[in-house]
Amino acid sequence: MEDRDRIRREHLAAGAIYGIVAYLAILVLLEEDHTDPMDAIAILVGSAIVYWLAHVYAHLVPRMAAVGRLRSGRFWETAADQIGVLLVVLVPVSALFLGVVGVLSAPTAVRTAIAAGVASLGVFAVREARAAGLGWRRSLVLAAGLVLAGVALLLFEVSLH
């Protein structure tokens, strides 16, 4: 795999994982406040847009400083590289939507969104481990450890609020 492709995949995964951890923290707080699923969707989507723009901005600053200006190609390349943090919001939003349409009760929809977020951490870990050449068993063991670390990070983050 070419370096640029590997770096893009890593940016996508890193943004998605960061996004899921951030959205999980928001969801836990929304669950404590008994937030309606539609309101939770609006909060998560708004947060996703802000996080994505912040990631793009953070990556553009050093690129702009290096050349003294913003090149439109670099903007779109950076925006695409950071799209993971924006796209991954669809994981919890999909579960919350089931609460909006009445398939799940509001509390169950929020808890399902949290569970889907935690599960997606495992999926990303397995995907990255397999891409790095690890076998299935090692990938699953690594994913289990990383999910536990992600949940610990989430609990730490929530405890600060």
Q: Place 1 in a pLDDT band, splitting at 50, 70 and 90.
A: low
Residue in the structure block whose two tokens are 């406040």: 33
What is the C-alpha separation between 126 and 154, in angstroms, rounded? 19
> Average pLDDT in the 73-81 region?
83
Contact, 37 vs 108, CB < 8 A?
no
Q: Which residue has the higher pLDDT, 73 or 43?
A: 43
Residue in the structure block whose two tokens are 């450890």: 145
Count structural domains, the chain. Answer: 1
Contact, 122 vs 130, CB < 8 A?
no
pTM of the model: 0.86
Residue 161 has pLDDT above 90, yes or no: no
What is the C-alpha separation between 161 and 158, in angstroms, rounded? 5
Q: Give percent of the chain with pLDDT exceeding 70.
A: 98
What is the C-alpha separation between 39 and 26, in angstroms, rounded? 12
> Average pLDDT in the 120-128 region?
91
Q: Tally the residues of the chain.
A: 161
> Average pLDDT in the 76-80 region?
86
Q: Tokens for 34? A: 């008994």
End-to-end CA distance of the chain: 42
Of 29-38, 63-72, 77-86, 139-148, which range is least confident? Answer: 63-72
Q: Tokens for 59? A: 């990556």
Q: Which of 69, 68, 84 is nearest to 128 (CA)?
A: 84
> Average pLDDT in the 90-102 region?
97
Mean residue pLDDT across the chain? 89
**Largest Cα–Cα distance of the chain, in whole Å?**
53
pLDDT in tens, 10-69: 888 888 999 999 999 999 999 989 999 999 999 999 999 999 999 999 888 887 777 777
pLDDT in tens, 102-120: 999 999 999 999 999 999 9
Q: Which domain does 125 fall in, by range? A: 3-159
